[in-house]
Amino acid sequence: MKITDNNEEMIAFGRQLVTEQPELYSEAYMQLLERKYSPFFNNKDEYYDAVYSAIYCQYVYGTSILEYGTYNFKQKTHEEKTQYITWDSRFLYMAFLNKDSFKHILDNKFEAYEFLKPFYKRDAMLLSDEKDYDVFYSFVKKHPAVFVKPNNLELTEGVHRLEYDENDDLKNIFDTLLKEAAELSSTEVKREIDHRLILEELISPSEFIRQINPNEMSLLRVTTINIKGNVHFFYPCLRLLLGNGKDEVGEDYSCVALIDSETGEVVTNGKSSFGDFDINPVTGQKIQGMFMPEWSDLKNMLTEAAEMLPEIRYIGWDVTHTDKGWCIIEGNPNGEFFYQMCLDHGVKEEFENLIGLKVPYDFWKSPLFRKKGNHTK
């Protein structure tokens, strides 16, 4: 594949890839992309030019379709693009830093909950089969609203809120959840689904989090990298959820702003695939200059958590602030590098200097690397 910075050539190559590799770019996959991303464009021609250019970058640099937009690859040179750690290229670094035989501790949500329970600061239970009804009954009597999550999926797949009252048939709700667990499927996550659900007590956000958006719970992504016994905080960021809590929810209605790892101050505007924000559109609050509460407490908590998992040296922690202080939502041993959108440049050289591993930008295209199952489209 020719290396080019010419957008017309990238579009042509992207169209060629779609035509020649229908097993990767099936009609169903292309329709999914169109439903998800075309509303952000003025017309279909503009959308298709962008998606074909993005597919070229996906093939050459390993970006996801979303990263093409968030990293502004249309305006970047080849040299600039090679400095980004992308959706695909991150997997070799994760393989170097994280032992596969230990990643199950975080991939399995209930196992992570039990291992790191003091840092979760909420109640949880695992729903596996019919034998769990008594535990379920006691749990929901104690917690009249819970979050339901598949036990080992990611990217918020299958996550939803469940509410009930004294008039509801709890056995019917229980049976519905078991059916939901049995029918779990995923087009995104390659590991085998274990068809269990974890039920969690709702997190009570602090006044600080409620002020960001009273409709949705914003969170932080704080990446820890444990090198030779020293825990480093690598570009922590605030993810502001800007939806209305109803029909507009989740990551599609969010922006990301960098946090200074020493002071806890937000040091950039909010960045997203559909624009930049200097002002929180929900509240009118200025984003840059915000300070995270109890920042040293958060760093101490995540340092302790990271030190409990020395075999998983790279972890992307999702955390939020509650009335009980900071709590872990989950830890991701394959955490993405989406904070690069705030920097407007890649972190490959800086990251490699920190971890002590140097690799070519396109190593992820190696047949040996793909054979091991690390590559995902």
Q: pLDDT of 102-134, one tens digit each?
A: 999 999 999 999 999 999 999 999 999 999 999
Q: All domains of the chain, ordered by start, with CATH?
A: 7-86 (no CATH), 123-201 (3.30.1490.20), 204-333 (3.30.470)
Nearest Cα to Cα of residue 11 among 49, 47, 42: 49
| pLDDT at residue 366 in the model | 65
| pLDDT score recorded for residue 156 | 74
Q: Provide the pLDDT for residue 374.
A: 42
Q: CA dist 71 to 59, 63, 86, 174, 318, Å?
A: 16, 9, 10, 43, 21
d(CA 29, CA 211) in angstroms, rounded, equals: 38
Phi/psi region, residue 77 (left: phi>0; alpha: psi -120 to 50; beta: rest), is beta
Measured in residues, the chain has a length of 377
1 has a pLDDT exceeding 90: no
To the nearest 10°, the Cα dihedral for 318, 323, 324, 329? -20
User: In sequence order, which residues have a C-beta less than 8 Å from that of residue 123 and are 6 or more positions away?
Assistant: 139, 142, 143, 200, 201
Q: Is the pLDDT of residue 377 over 50?
A: no
Residue 326 pLDDT > 70, yes or no? yes
Phi, psi of 207 (to 5 degrees): -60, -35
Cβ partners under 8 Å of residue 317, min gap 6: 220, 221, 222, 223, 224, 302, 305, 328, 330, 331, 332
Task: Kindly report the number of other CB atoms within 10 A of residue 218's CB atom.
Answer: 22
H/E stretch holding 305 reads helix 295-307
What distance in Å separates the CA atoms of residue 100 and residue 180, rounded to the nearest whole number?
29
pLDDT, tens digit, for every residue of 32-66? 999 988 888 889 999 999 999 999 999 999 999 98
As to burial, measured by CB atoms within 10 angstroms (0-12 exposed, 13-18 middle, 19+ buried), residue 294 is middle
Question: What's the distance, CA 54 to chain centroid?
Answer: 20
Residue 276 has pLDDT above 60, yes or no: yes
Q: In what order do the strands lie in the sheet with 124-127?
A: 124-127, 197-201, 145-150, 160-163
pLDDT at 252: 65
Whole-number pLDDT of residue 367: 59
Higher pLDDT, 153 or 60: 60
User: What is the structure's pLDDT at 372?
Assistant: 43
Which pLDDT value is given to residue 376?
39
Burial class (CB in 10 A: 0-12, 13-18, 19+), 75: exposed
Tell me: the pLDDT tens digits for 330-373? 999 999 999 999 999 999 999 999 999 998 877 767 655 544 44
% residues pLDDT > 70 (the chain): 92
Is residue 237 within 8 A of residue 265, CB to CB? The reply is no
Least Cα distance to 69 among 51, 83, 56 occurs for 51
pLDDT grade for 189, boundaries at 50, 70 and 90: low
Share of the chain above pLDDT 90, in %: 76
| Amino acid type, 164 | Y
Mean pLDDT: which of 91-95, 167-171, 218-222, 363-367 is highest? 218-222
Q: Is residue 157's pLDDT more than 90? A: no
Note the pLDDT tens digit of each residue in 226-252: 999 999 999 999 999 887 766 665 666
Average pLDDT along the chain: 90
Could you list the beta-strand ranges (E) of 242-358: 254-258, 270-272, 275-277, 314-322, 325-332
Q: Which two tokens stand for residue 336?
A: 């993405």
Q: Is the pLDDT of residue 87 over 50?
A: yes
In this model, does residue 375 exceed pLDDT 60? no
Instruction: Write out the H or E segment, with its range, that includes residue 135.
Output: helix 133-142
The secondary element (H helix, E strand) that includes residue 107 is helix 104-107
- Whether residue 288 contacts residue 269, with contact meaning beta carbons closer than 8 Å, is answered with yes
Q: Is pTM, for the whole model, over 0.85?
A: yes
